[in-house]
Structure 1
């Protein structure tokens, strides 16, 4: 698990499993138009059934792969989710924050990458980003390299790869 991190001047970031989050919190998060704008696979309405299916699917990854997605907390408050999901032989990292928490992204990503570097199962991480994402400099500054356009579930994504070994 990723240990909590924070200082007096910045919020404490911690992680928990998605079943610990109230379904209404996830519904509000994933129904936000600013979030949906960058999620081409988000073609349905989020309700309690959608949340139950989403959480069950993410928990199944933990069971099968021994790793999956976490809910992210900032000072104990749900601000989004992130984690690693095995896609074929690759570990893909995803991060989806609530609009009011977008600024926490670099800190959370750094913690996730530190985790990946320490985990010998993860020789590299991939990132699938929607073409609507224009600001990719931070990812490139970390050393991620553009691999190409990749199709996933019928949608095109910009694929990046970052070596962790």
Structure 2
């Protein structure tokens, strides 16, 4: 089993994130945005460091066997805590494990519920539908998302 490590963004070089942030296979499941360069990646990372410093939030880069594969976080958006997981397509099989660890973070932080928003390009996830208190379609920044409201147990 691969070793997953969660690393503070302040410990990651912005250039390490560039291949992931600009990878087409990842971008097709995110809100459209310009390609990143070193400066815009650094600014994006700074914004995630700021989120990480906010009460009830935690944002980390994800390394697997010392290789950066993505990032994850519990973020406050529109007065709701949401879980975000963005990982390289070669590591998608680790998403459920990362999700369960993040639900542990949410519990440790005292959250009662969290949201997950998946762009409409992603499939519906049966395991999330089964555990969700509610599922619905939402509109965020002009994009359609499948949203899952999850109780933190």
* TM-score between the two structures when normalised by the length of structure 1: 0.85
Mapped partners of 1:22, 1:102: distance in 2: 23
Are positions 1:86 and 2:76 aligned together?
yes
Measured on the aligned residues, the alpha-carbon RMSD in Å equals 1.6
8 Å contact from structure 1 (residues 16, 70) kept in 2: yes
> Contact (CA 8 Å) 1:146, 1:158: kept in 2 or not?
no
Q: Pick from 87, 106, 131: which aligns with 2:120?
A: 131
Aligned position for 2:2: 11
Which aligned pairs between 1:49-60 and structure 2 lie closer than 5 A? 49-60=39-50
Spell out the pairing of 1:27-42 with structure 2 (5 A cutoff): 27-39=18-30, 41-42=31-32
Deviations 1:7-54 (Å, cap 9, x if unpaired)?
xxx011110112222222211001111101111x23201111221121
Aligned to 1:7: none
* Aligned-partner SS, 2:54: helix
Query: How does 1:1-165 map onto structure 2 within 5 Å?
Result: 10-39=1-30, 41-65=31-55, 67-120=57-110, 122-141=111-130, 143-165=131-153
Question: How far does residue 74 in structure 1 lie from its aligned partner after superposition?
Answer: 1.2
What is the aligned residue count? 153
In 2, Cα distance between equivalents of 1:108 and 1:63: 21
Q: Structure 1: any 5+ residue segments left out of the alignment?
A: 1-9
Structure 2 counterpart SS, 1:161: strand
- 1:145 to partner: Cα distance: 4.0
TM-score (norm 2): 0.91
Where structure 2 has 5 or more consecutive residues not aligned to the other structure, the ranges are none
